[in-house]
Amino acid sequence: MLSLRQDQMDDMHALTRGVFVDRMVEHLNQFFPKHCAALGVSGVREAIDYGIERASAYGIVGERDVCLYIDLMFGFGKDFDTDPELPWAASVLNDERIAGAKQRINILHETAVREASQAGGG
């Protein structure tokens, strides 16, 4: 039976996270080029790390789900989840009736799209 020490598990987690961060840098540069240019490479990486931690606080840990969370962060602001001007975000993220991270992020994304559309007049 294969057995891994904790330091080996930590190394694997760091490698996986590093690959995810690299992919997110590319993704964000494609979809949010102005934001990325303003932040610079290190700023984008710091924002991604911050987004990973914030998403995790809500139980959102899957790569696709964290990607959506970070997209929302770039679209609505770093602290959109606690912004009093965006009460819908905290409402969805803290709604205990929503079972599971996938459902939570999907509802959050749908709500964000609807809110952005209404704010834009369309």
Contact 92, 108 (CB under 8 A): yes
Q: Which long-range contacts (CB under 8 A, 24 or more apart) does 27-36 make?
A: 27/67, 28/70, 28/71, 28/74, 31/71, 31/74, 32/71, 32/74, 32/75, 35/74
Predicted confidence (pLDDT) per residue in 101-114, tens digit: 999 999 999 999 99
Query: What residue ranges do the domains of the chain occupy?
Result: 9-119
Residue 113 one-letter amino acid:
V
Q: What is the pLDDT of residues 52-91, one digit of tens each?
A: 999 999 999 999 999 999 999 999 999 999 999 999 999 9
What was the pLDDT predicted at 16?
79
**Residue type at 69?**
Y
Question: What is the reported pLDDT for 83?
Answer: 97
Residue 21 CA from chain centroid, whole number: 11
